[in-house]
């Protein structure tokens, strides 16, 4: 009996020794994972795009429809079929011996911009992103264009993670319980753990239809999630989001654990070298930002918009997870890049419903209708749309003795989405310009409110950032003095008289009441225009921005709108900077958010050290007990 117990004790001790060695191996493996690779550097290719705006089909050089003659001569750009070809090419190369692993990331705003989305909405957006198979995407503000009810089906239909860490969804449970939404995702490439954290500009609150989503400051939310991922042994951290280049730079300065930022929202073209097409280069690719806390260089990239480019960033990390080299540039997806046939076939599934829009001519233009600068300065297409509001209202709704009782109209530059080439204009062309379906409303306000609107138009103006609130107008001549502080930049305003026998301009009277035409979106506070009260509304008109412009084109074509000095800029705006302390202070009031009210918690790695140790312990003890039975 004593001999039997001695044998049992010896076997148990041997089992414990084996278990100790196995757990030691697991700890060693975890250490290797945490420090990336003990002996070798780690390379990664990041493919990325942003602000695709429903350009499922190839486009012209400016993101508008590709003209038939350009299709025939292979001078079109972008589209999902070319994007798919290029992404698959690099993914195939990654599967070869010694291939460099690839992450394909998208920084939001797939919604809105063409008739394809106007007709098919979340269904076509989910279908085409699923065929591209991104590793992850972030949300963009335009994903809320159809409200939360128009986003939830998309979140349930897509087959990849949708990442955003700075939303409080306590009052929006329908988003909390979707299939794809989460704060971050861990990817394992060649044994290395890479964390991707999503974020979305809190300005979505003002850019989207009213909803119950609450927003947390990006910097606070990213830092919190980064700490959690670091605890899980992740050493390479990528922030993927939709806040614009200026904000991305602030995130880089104030998020010490982040290595790379893949951005969107500002449609910024970053490039190193000679420009490959028509877009002016707005900075090098990548932009390098020094973090204020640890002095680390953080790379910030963006890839313009409308599928014209695919961002390509090749990075290398050392054994401690430090970035040691990088190279790359956006790839121009021009006619030399093939279009993959399966994506073209998917387009054909949806195409019959688009044919009417493609073939119905509603007017023509003798000049290029240029939307490229509508967020920065007066643009001729903005003048035409604002004139359309006044003309259509006067023709259909005003029944007085004069030309009109509303000679003033406004449309925000962010609502004008693309340019139109010289020639015939189709319904499809115009929907591409005005895709949102915003109703027009007639309001009556005093001159002070109009001046406040104009101040809001240039409140954040810096000449570079594409703020959507910049107003295009009819019946107004404004002079801005941009070197004045925000809130004091309107130097002078003249307005066109209404109900007068001889239309002329005179100085804006702060006390006088004026009737003004604008979109319901602006009236309800969109883009920060919060100076109105419900009693200001005279009536909501039955037509949208699209309707009034179509009616104008049908009646007035060929059109040839000009720059008419409705907007004059004087002086240079001061450089806008936000210190890290300002960012922290601004965020402190919105950080009391529990994990339960955020999107789905961070995806845990099923191969974590804790899980493996527990499995080994159970296995070895199970074997020991089984042998005793």
Domain range for 422 is 360-570
Is the domain of 274 the same as that of 147? yes
Average pLDDT, integer, range 212-233: 98
How far CA 620 is from CA of 4, 5, 280, in Å, comes to 21, 20, 64
Is the domain of 380 the same as that of 340? no
Is the domain of 320 the same as that of 408? no
CATH of the domain at 90: 3.60.21.10
Average pLDDT, integer, range 184-196: 97
Sign of CA dihedral 15, 17, 18, 20: positive
Of 214-223, 340-349, 613-622, give the lowest mean pLDDT range.
Answer: 613-622
Give first-to-last CA distance, the chain, whole Å. 17
Q: Quick check: is 588 in a domain? A: no
Q: Quick check: is 288 in a domain? A: yes
Is the domain of 342 the same as that of 364? no
Is the domain of 339 the same as that of 372? no
Residue where one domain finishes, among candidates 551, 570, 589 = 570
Q: CB–CB of 194/188 below 8 Å? A: yes
| pTM, to two decimals | 0.78
Average pLDDT, integer, range 228-252: 97
What would the pLDDT profile of 557-600 be if each residue is shown by its tens digit? 999 999 999 999 999 987 654 333 223 222 222 223 334 345 54
Report the alpha-carbon angle 368-573-410, nearest 5: 45
Bridge partners of 315, per DSSP, are 44, 326
What phi and psi, each to the nearest 5 degrees, are found at residue 411? -140, 135
Q: Quick check: is 599 in a domain? A: no
Residue where one domain finishes, among candidates 541, 570, 599 = 570
Greatest mean pLDDT among 66-70, 116-120, 158-162, 522-526 lies in 158-162
Assign 67 a pLDDT band (cuts: 50, 70, 90): confident
pLDDT at 127 over 70: yes
Assign 258 a pLDDT band (cuts: 50, 70, 90): very high
Number of separate domains in the chain? 2
Task: Tell me whether residue 293 is exposed, middle or buried, using C-beta atoms within 10 angstroms of its C-beta: 0 to 12, 13 to 18, 19 or more.
Answer: exposed
281 dihedral zone (left: phi>0; alpha: psi -120 to 50; beta): beta
Is the domain of 230 the same as that of 374? no
Q: Quick check: is 33 in a domain? A: no
Q: Quick check: is 466 in a domain? A: yes
Nearest to 600 by CA among 164, 213, 108, 221: 164
Is the domain of 336 the same as that of 405? no
Q: Quick check: is 224 in a domain? A: yes
Is the domain of 156 the same as that of 291? yes
Percent of the chain with pLDDT over 70: 85
What phi and psi, each to the nearest 5 degrees, are found at residue 579? -75, 160
Helix, strand or coil, per DSSP, at residue 187 = strand
Q: Quick check: is 604 in a domain? A: no
Structural tokens at position 263: 């951005």
Is the domain of 93 the same as that of 229? yes
pLDDT of residue 209: 81
Indicate the helix (H) or strand (E) that contains 276: none
Q: Quick check: is 385 in a domain? A: yes
What phi and psi, each to the nearest 5 degrees, are found at residue 410? -135, 145
Q: CB–CB of 216/166 below 8 Å? A: yes
Average pLDDT, integer, range 475-504: 97
CATH of the domain at 466: 3.90.780.10
> Do strands 408-412 and 513-519 pair parallel, antiparallel, or not at all (unpaired)?
parallel
Of 120-134, 217-231, 575-589, give the lowest mean pLDDT range.
Answer: 575-589
pLDDT of residue 587: 28
Is the domain of 139 the same as that of 236? yes
* Pairwise CA distance, residues 449 & 452, whole Å: 5
Residue where one domain finishes, among candidates 300, 318, 346 = 346
pLDDT of residue 604: 38
Indicate the helix (H) or strand (E) that contains 172: none
Nearest to 120 by CA among 111, 132, 130: 111
Assign 131 a pLDDT band (cuts: 50, 70, 90): very high
Mean model confidence pLDDT for the chain: 88
What would the pLDDT profile of 305-316 be if each residue is shown by its tens digit? 999 999 999 999
Assign 539 a pLDDT band (cuts: 50, 70, 90): very high
Is the domain of 564 the same as that of 442? yes
Is the domain of 340 the same as that of 410? no
């Amino acid at each position: 009996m004593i001999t039997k117990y001695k044998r049992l004790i010896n076997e148990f001790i041997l089992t414990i020794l084996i278990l100790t060695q196995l757990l030691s191996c697991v700890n060693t493996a975890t250490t290797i994972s945490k420090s990336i690779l003990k002996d070798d550097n780690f390379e990664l290719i990041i493919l990325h795009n942003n602000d695709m705006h429903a350009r499922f089909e190839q486009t012209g050089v400016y993101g508008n429809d590709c003209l038939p003659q350009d299709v025939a001569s292979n001078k079109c750009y972008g589209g999902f079929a070319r994007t798919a070809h290029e992404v698959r090419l690099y993914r195939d190369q990654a599967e070869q011996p010694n291939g460099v692993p690839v992450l394909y990331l998208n920084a939001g705003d797939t919604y809105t911009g063409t008739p394809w989305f106007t007709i098919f909405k979340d269904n076509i957006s989910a279908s085409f992103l699923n065929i591209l198979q991104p590793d992850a995407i972030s949300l963009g503000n335009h994903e809320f264009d159809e409200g939360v009810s128009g986003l939830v089906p998309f979140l349930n239909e897509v087959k990849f993670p949708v990442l955003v860490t700075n939303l409080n969804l306590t009052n929006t449970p329908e988003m909390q319980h979707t299939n794809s939404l989460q704060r971050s995702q861990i990817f394992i490439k060649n044994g290395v753990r890479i964390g991707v954290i999503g974020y979305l500009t809190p300005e979505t609150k003002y850019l989207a239809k009213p909803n119950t989503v609450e927003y947390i400051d990006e910097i606070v939310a990213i830092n919190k999630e980064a700490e959690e991922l670091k605890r899980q042994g992740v050493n390479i951290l990528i922030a993927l989001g939709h806040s614009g280049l200026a904000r991305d730079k602030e995130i880089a300065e104030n998020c010490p654990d982040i290595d790379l930022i893949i951005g969107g929202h500002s449609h910024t073209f970053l490039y190193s070298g000679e420009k490959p097409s028509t877009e002016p280069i707005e900075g090098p690719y990548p932009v390098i930002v020094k973090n204020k806390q640890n002095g680390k260089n953080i790379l910030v990239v963006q890839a313009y918009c409308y599928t014209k480019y695919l961002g390509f960033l090749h990075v290398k990390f050392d054994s401690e997870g430090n970035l040691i080299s990088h190279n790359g540039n956006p790839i121009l997806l021009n006619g030399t890049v093939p279009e993959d046939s399966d994506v073209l076939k998917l387009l054909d599934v949806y195409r019959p419903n688009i044919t009417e829009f493609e073939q119905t001519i509603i007017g023509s233009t003798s000049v290029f209708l240029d939307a490229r600068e509508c967020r920065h300065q007066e643009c001729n297409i903005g003048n035409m749309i604002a004139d359309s509001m006044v003309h259509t209202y006067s023709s259909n709704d005003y029944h007085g003795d004069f030309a009109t009782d509303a000679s003033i109209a406004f449309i925000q530059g962010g609502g004008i989405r693309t340019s139109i080439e010289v020639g015939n204009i189709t319904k499809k062309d115009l929907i591409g310009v005005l895709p949102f379906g915003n109703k027009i409303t007639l309001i009556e306000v005093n001159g002070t409110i109009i001046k406040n609107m104009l101040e809001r138009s240039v409140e954040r103006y810096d000449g570079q950032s594409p703020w959507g609130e910049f107003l295009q107008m009819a019946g107004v001549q404004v002079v801005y003095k941009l070197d004045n502080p925000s809130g004091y930049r309107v130097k002078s305003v003249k307005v066109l008289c209404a109900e007068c026998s001889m239309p002329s301009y005179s100085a804006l009277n702060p006390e006088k009441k004026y009737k003004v035409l604008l979109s319901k979106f602006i009236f309800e506070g969109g883009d920060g225009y919060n100076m109105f009260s419900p009693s200001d509304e005279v009536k909501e008109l039955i037509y949208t921005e699209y309707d009034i412009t179509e009616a104008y084109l049908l009646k007035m074509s060929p059109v040839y709108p000009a720059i008419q000095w409705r907007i004059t800029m004087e002086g240079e705006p001061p450089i806008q900077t936000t210190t890290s302390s300002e960012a922290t202070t601004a965020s402190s009031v919105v950080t009391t958010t529990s994990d339960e009210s955020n999107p789905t918690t961070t995806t845990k790695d099923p191969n974590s050290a804790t899980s493996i140790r527990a499995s080994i312990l159970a296995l070895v003890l199970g074997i020991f007990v089984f042998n005793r039975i």
